Amino acid sequence: MTPALSCYSTALVEYLGGAAAGRLAAAAHLWVRTDDPDGALAFSHHDRIDDGALVHDHRPDWPSARAALAALLAEEGRVIVSGNAFHLLWSPHHGVRTVPHWFLLRGRDARGWHVADPFHALMPGGEQLPYAGVLGDDALRRALTPVGRLDPAVRNRDVHALGEPVEPGPTDAYRWLRRAIPSPAPSAFPASPASPAGPSAGSSARWPGVWLRAPGEVFAYLRDRLTGDADLLERHLDDLWAASRHQLHRLGPRPDPELADAWTQLPKALRFAADSARRGRPRTGVVERTLDTLAGLTTGREASRARG
């Protein structure tokens, strides 16, 4: 059964197969960048679980993209592609919202391209159910329509979709992922160290900007930023929803009930606060209580584990 994750990590786990779901559970965390030049936040939800094997690729036009995808699919047997939810018939965002959405190509024959999207979620716009089907060339072209310029919060999601900063390529191109060809040339965003330098490691050449990693610092920072900026809260609802899903996956099938409930309530409470602010009735206390509860629970359990 596919775990309940974000569209990015759902596709990643499905692509990697085997023990990838277990590796993701062990790798899950919640880190936040505090100094993005565009004013948005950036989040990392997990360490890389692909051993650094995947990189983004792209082509500027459909004929060259189609040829490259056909060759890659013939070579590897499956490909993660970056679709456009506005054009995905199975997405609640279809015809409503332009946002990147990962799914998989699993094969190609005379009927067309075999696609699979195991992502399942109940979202404000409706429920997305897992999808498997066959798309012709023109249907796949529409599904992969370049998303164009993205809000910085959404762009940051794309950049950190693999867990660490990885340049995702131009958003006015057709995009997908492939296994890296070994090269001595450094990437635009070099890989993170296996163990970050301390709970709030700050900036480094490997992770551009200043990052908070300790749960207490992360939740305190989010409380202060999100209670004072309703627009910022609205823009990052999807990020905190994804955090909830990754953390519940980390807790496993027999979680601490109190901690699991706190993570479950997080996106609901933030959505309520954002809706209230939109109606001119801010509920900042809801945000404060929810994040303070998580801070208390997570830091308390970290201390317990440290004591052994």
Q: Please state, in angstroms and rounded to a whole number, the distance separating the CA atoms of residues 35 and 111.
A: 49
Environment class of 150 (CB within 10 Å of its CB; exposed 0-12, middle 13-18, buried 19+): middle
pLDDT of residue 301: 64
**Listing from the earlier edge strand, what are the strands of the sheet with 28-33?**
42-46, 28-33, 211-212
Question: In this structure, what DSSP letter does residue 85 have?
Answer: G
The ranges of the chain with pLDDT < 50 are: 183-205, 306
pLDDT of residue 305: 54
pLDDT of residue 299: 82
Backbone φ and ψ for 103, nearest 5 degrees, come out as -150, -175
Return all residues near 190 (Cβ < 8 A) that are at least 6 apart.
205, 206
pLDDT of residue 14: 97
Strands (E), 85-221: 100-109, 112-117, 121-123, 126-128, 131-135, 174-179, 211-212
Q: What tens digit of pLDDT does each residue of 169-205 get?
A: 999 999 999 998 654 444 444 444 333 433 333 444 4
pLDDT of residue 103: 98
pLDDT of residue 182: 59
- Other CB atoms within 10 Å distance of the CB of residue 17: 9
Q: What is the pTM of this model?
A: 0.90
- For strand 131-135 and strand 126-128, is the pairing parallel, antiparallel, or unpaired? unpaired
pLDDT of residue 307: 53
